[in-house]
Amino acid sequence: MTGRRDIEFAADDGVRLRGWFYPARGTSGPAPAVVLAAGFAMLKEQYLDRYAERFAAAGFGALVCDPRNFGASDGEPRQEANPWQQIEDLRHAVTYAGLLPEVDARRIGVWGTHYGGAHAVVLGASDPRVRAVVAQAPAIDGISSGRRRIPMDRWPNVARAFAADRAARMGGEPAALRPIVGHPAERPVFGGDAAREFFLAAAALAPGWRNEVTVRTGEWSRMYDAGRYAELVAPVPLLMVLGDGDTLSGTDLQLDAYQRAREPKRLVLYRGDHHDAYLGRFEETSAAAVDFLGHHLAKEDDR
C-alpha cells in the first residue's frame, strides 16, 4: 500500500465517488495509469487493491473507487447497480485520473473484472481516451447468463416480480432488496455454492460490504449485453482473461465475444472457474494484465 492515498471526485450529477489512487512506483514524470472497475456489487477492498498494488509496482498509476450507491461512495438508492450509470462514472474516473499530475493522460487503460470487465469492453468501444482494455472474467452477456440461472418455467414469475417492484417504487415505497448469495430458498442473485463461498469470504475483506442488491439491479443486469460492443473496441487493443470453467459468466459466452472482437486482441485462458482469477490464479491473471498494459501503454519511443 506504499503511497496509496484517498481520493474523491464528483460525477456530473454531484454524487461523490470515493476510492484510492496508487502512484506509479519507480518512475519519474507523468506515468501511464489504469482505472479499475469492480465486480458485481463488490467494493475496492475485495481484491481490487491487490491488482492496483501490482499495477503500481509495475509502473502504472492505479485508480480504484467504490461504485456509486456502494461502500464509501455516495448515491441512492443504496445497493443499486445501474450498469450504464457505472460506465458513465468510469468515464468520470478516466477524467479525474487524467487530471492528476502523476498521470500521463494520453496513456490511460481500463481493467475490469466480472461486471467491471463488461464495463471495460463498453468503455473501450465508446471512449476514445482509453488506450487499452483488460476484461477479466467479464459478465459479458447478462441476457443469456441471467436466463441460465433459473428454470424456464420461472421466467414469468421473475418478470412479474420486476413489474411489481417498479409499481411499488413509483408508489413511494423503498427499493426492494434481494440477497446476492444465499440458499436457493432465498432466491439469491447467484445461487451456486462456489459463488456463496467466494462472496462470503470476500466479505471479511470489506466490513462495509452488504449481501444484498435492489431488485431493479437484477432487472438491469438481465438486459445488459456488453458483448455487443466487443467488435467495436478495435483499434483499441483488448485483452480477455478467462477461466476455462467459468460457470458464473459463461466461458462460451465470453469466447463468443472474443471471437467477434477484432485485432489487436489477446486471449489468456487460465485453468479454473470464475473466482479463481482472484485467488489461486492471481499471479497468472495479474501478470497477463501487466504485460499487456506495459506494451500498449508504453510511450511510442519505448516500444
Residue 303 has pLDDT above 50, yes or no: no
Q: What nine digits make up the cell of 219?
A: 432487472
- The percent of residues in the chain predicted with pLDDT above 90, rounded, is 91
Residue 268 has pLDDT above 50, yes or no: yes
Q: What is the mean pLDDT of the chain?
A: 95
Residue 158 has pLDDT above 80, yes or no: yes
Cβ(224)–Cβ(87) below 8 Å: no
Cβ(161)–Cβ(139) below 8 Å: no
Residue 100 has pLDDT above 50, yes or no: yes
28 falls in which pLDDT band (50, 70, 90)?
A: confident
299 falls in which pLDDT band (50, 70, 90)?
A: confident
Which pLDDT score is estimated for 300?
A: 59
113-154 tens-digit pLDDT: 999 999 999 999 999 999 999 999 999 999 999 999 888 998
Question: Residue type at 233?
Answer: V
226-258 tens-digit pLDDT: 999 999 999 999 999 999 999 999 999 999 999
CA dihedral 67, 68, 74, 77 (to 10 degrees): -130
